[in-house]
Structure formats: C-alpha cells, structure tokens
C-alpha cells in the first residue's frame, strides 16, 4: 500500500483485500463490534501514554499508529458494505461543521 492514498483509493484497496485475502466482509453487526473493540484499544493506549494510567506488560507492545489504522480499516469496511463513499461523506460533514460551528469555536474563550 502506498503512503499517500486518497480515501476513495483506500476504500477500493480494502474492498479488494477483503474479497481476495479476507474472503468476504464480516456482517455489519460483527464489524460494529470489531470497531468498538479497536477504539477501546486506542483508548487504552491514550490513557496510558497521555493519561494517568501506567502501562501493563501486555500494553508495552501496543502501537498507537497501528491501532488507529485498525480503527480506520474496520470503519472503511463498514462504509464499503453499506455503500457509503467516505470522501463525499467527509466533505459534507466538514461543510456541516463549518456552517454550524465556525463562529462558535472562534468566539469560545476556552479555546484561546
């Protein structure tokens, strides 16, 4: 996989990987459970690396970038199997956030 890849390319590449190496997509409910599990692993690393919890021996080998990639992989699987173009969805979501939150964040004293 190239380092510079668009979201649309990632969706296509993961779809190909699933259909060749992975055989087929897990169902949506299984992928949702897997996404939750992967997000939990990210939370565990963040809590130990940036929070107040200490690392356990079993946590020492965990890598934040790898766990974030796991989250992205499962998220893309869910998007693929539900017919969502994440490039378009992200574009629309950023427009929504800009329209809704642009002035609110700029005038938030807590953020200055």
- 24-78 pLDDT, tens digit per residue, is 999 999 999 999 999 999 999 999 999 988 888 777 778 999 999 999 999 999 9
The CATH number for 38's domain is 1.10.287.1080
Q: Is residue 32 part of a domain?
A: yes
Residues written for the chain: 112
- Domain with 22, as residue range(s), is 7-86
Neighbours of 87 (CB within 10 A): 15
- 88-112 pLDDT, tens digit per residue, is 999 999 999 999 987 888 888 888 8
Q: What is the pLDDT of residue 2?
A: 52
Instruction: Count Cα atoms within 13 angstroms, Cβ side, for 84.
Output: 13
Number of domains in the chain: 1
Q: Is residue 44 part of a domain?
A: yes
Q: Is residue 37 part of a domain?
A: yes
Q: What is the pLDDT of residue 101?
A: 87
pLDDT of residue 1 exceeding 70, the answer is no
Q: What is the pLDDT of residue 58?
A: 75
Element (H, E) at 75: helix 64-81
Distance CA(100)–CA(81), nearest Å, equals 29
């Amino acid at each position: 996989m190239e380092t510079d890849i668009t979201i649309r390319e990632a969706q296509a590449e993961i779809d190909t990987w699933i259909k060749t190496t992975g055989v087929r997509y897990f169902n949506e409910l299984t992928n949702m459970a897997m996404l939750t599990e992967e997000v939990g692993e990210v939370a565990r690393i963040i809590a130990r690396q940036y929070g107040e919890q200490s690392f356990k021996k079993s946590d020492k080998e965990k890598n934040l970038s790898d766990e974030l990639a796991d989250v992205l992989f499962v998220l893309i699987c869910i998007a693929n199997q539900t017919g969502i173009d994440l490039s378009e969805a992200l574009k629309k979501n950023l427009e929504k956030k800009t329209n809704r939150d642009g002035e609110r964040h700029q005038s938030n004293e807590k953020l200055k």
